[in-house]
Amino acid sequence: MKNVLIIGASSGGQLVAGSLLKQKSRYRLVGFLDTAKNKHGQIVAGVPVLGGHDRLSDVIISASVDEVIVAISDLDKGVLYRLVDETADMGVELRIIPNVMEISANTDLFSQVREVNAADLLGRMAAKIDEKLVASEILDKTVLVTGAAGSIGSELIRQIAKFNPLKIVAVDINENELYFLELAASRHFKHILFKPYICDVRDRESLGVAFDEKPDIVFHAAAHKHVPLMERAPLEAIKNNVLGTLNTLHLAKDYKVGKFVLVSTDKAVNPESVMGATKRFAEMITYTFGADSTTNFMIVRFGNVLGSNGSVIPIFQALIREGHNLTITHPDATRYFMTIPEAALLVIEASARGTNRDMFVLEMGTPVKIIDMAKRLIVLSGAHDIKIEISGLRPGEKLHEELFYEQDDVTRVENTKLLRVSANEMEMVDLEQLEQELVRGGYRADPLGYLKSHVSCYKPRQD
């Protein structure tokens, strides 16, 4: 039998307690801890509220607690950090209820209690969007997503499907992942026409076949994103991130698409990397296309997402499972993080709220120190013998990322986690000259020089 202590004596805690008390052969509820002093000493669900969170260690020892359940879905992350550390030090299991957006109303809350994960340690609350507004934009529309098999692209498709579009057009060069996405679509949203296209955004003719589906909205998520790799392959970065974006923009304009959304990155702000410079270039081209256009061309910029293919958290988790030490680039390095579903939902909401040449930045919360995240993951795994090694910043990497060029030019969009950036930070592009350069392959001889000549804010780091 497990002795269980619940953090939080309000509705969530009481629901969990009710389920525990029905399983007396497996669990013994020893009590609650709650920050509200007026609850201390009260009897809730037949057991006492034993004090505040500061009594955790004492109660664990005195009541021989085996498991602690956090029954507060919006618990302050600093408090959660302390609970993670304290329970780990005492060898006690820690679990948590899902956040409000993840809780299933039709399922017993105790059965939804899970282990603490990386997303819980983000230090931010999940965003809530205006679902009625989004539904009115997506309902019965044809939506095309490039980079559809990637982390963001596939999540965009899953979230878009919830709002009942007429058709989803999925474009990607990755045959295997696109096939798996099609299988998932056939299982989970059969009522929506799903049209996958294996094609390369660098090939305008091939891409045009997908646009024959006549999309109303385009989300352009296709991009090469790995910073160190793009430092070694600047030609590929330009071809995919710049030429690929130009091709998609042209087709969106030619087919009179209603809305076009470029998915961008915080690495496009004062870029020091090839990847960041190409994404900034893509932003500039998208903004320029908005001049005298019937299509609404928009940009949405955000930072890192947890769990994306090749990102730091899955890599850390894989290393921990394999018993390897973790390597970080610098003890002071920070990054902005959000979950993939939250990022996708906010991108969709931005498309619903935006008009031509709007530039949005997702509110990313407080930057997270990579070394702190690594330490927490080690604690959560219980693999206390794993060490953290410092390797030094890799080519193109910055110590800290930025979200804006000018803080004063940013305004919040109503009561949302969308920030609208002033057009003052955007530069125009000579599209005719750009077209000629790309057709002639003028970037091939000196790709870095080409980027520097077009992206004035690109300043490669000098090591």
Question: Pairing between strand 368-369 and 334-335?
Answer: antiparallel
pLDDT category at 339 given cuts 50, 70, 90 is confident
Distance between CA atoms of 139 and 287, rounded to whole angstroms? 27
The one-character DSSP state at 126 is P
Distance between CA atoms of 24 and 403, rounded to whole angstroms? 51
DSSP 3-state of 132 = helix
Distance between CA atoms of 343 and 341, rounded to whole angstroms? 5
* Both structure tokens of 76: 């302050």
Q: Which of 202, 127, 125, 192 is nearest to 171 (CA)?
A: 202
Kindly state the average pLDDT of the residues 386-401.
92
User: In terms of pLDDT, which residue wins out, 145 or 82?
Assistant: 145
Place of tokens 């990322």: 401
pLDDT score for 74: 76
pLDDT score for 384: 78
* pLDDT higher than 70, residue 122: no
% of the chain surpassing 70 pLDDT: 95
Tell me the pLDDT of the chain averaged across its residues. 91
Distance between CA atoms of 365 and 26, rounded to whole angstroms? 40
CB burial readout 369-390, b (16+ within 10 A) else e: ebbebbbbbbbbeeeeebeeee
Place of tokens 């000549």: 453
Amino acid at 324: H
Question: Pairing between strand 47-48 and 43-44?
Answer: antiparallel
pLDDT category at 116 given cuts 50, 70, 90 is confident
Amino acid at 403: L
Rg (CA), the chain: 25
* pLDDT higher than 80, residue 250: yes
DSSP 3-state of 93 = strand
Supply the residues annotated as catalytic: 267
pLDDT category at 111 given cuts 50, 70, 90 is confident
Distance between CA atoms of 114 and 70, rounded to whole angstroms? 10
Distance between CA atoms of 215 and 141, rounded to whole angstroms? 8
Distance between CA atoms of 257 and 294, rounded to whole angstroms? 8
pLDDT score for 123: 56
**Digit-coded pLDDT (tens) for 359-391:** 999 998 888 899 988 888 888 777 778 999 999
* pLDDT higher than 80, residue 15: yes
Q: Give the helix, strand, coil percentages of the chain, each rounded to 5.
A: 40, 20, 40
Residue 158 CA, distance from chain mean position: 14
CB burial readout 428-460, b (16+ within 10 A) else e: ebeeeebeebbeeeebeeebeebbeebbebbeb
- Domain architecture of the chain: domains with CATH: 2-116 (3.40.50.720), 131-454 (3.40.50.720)
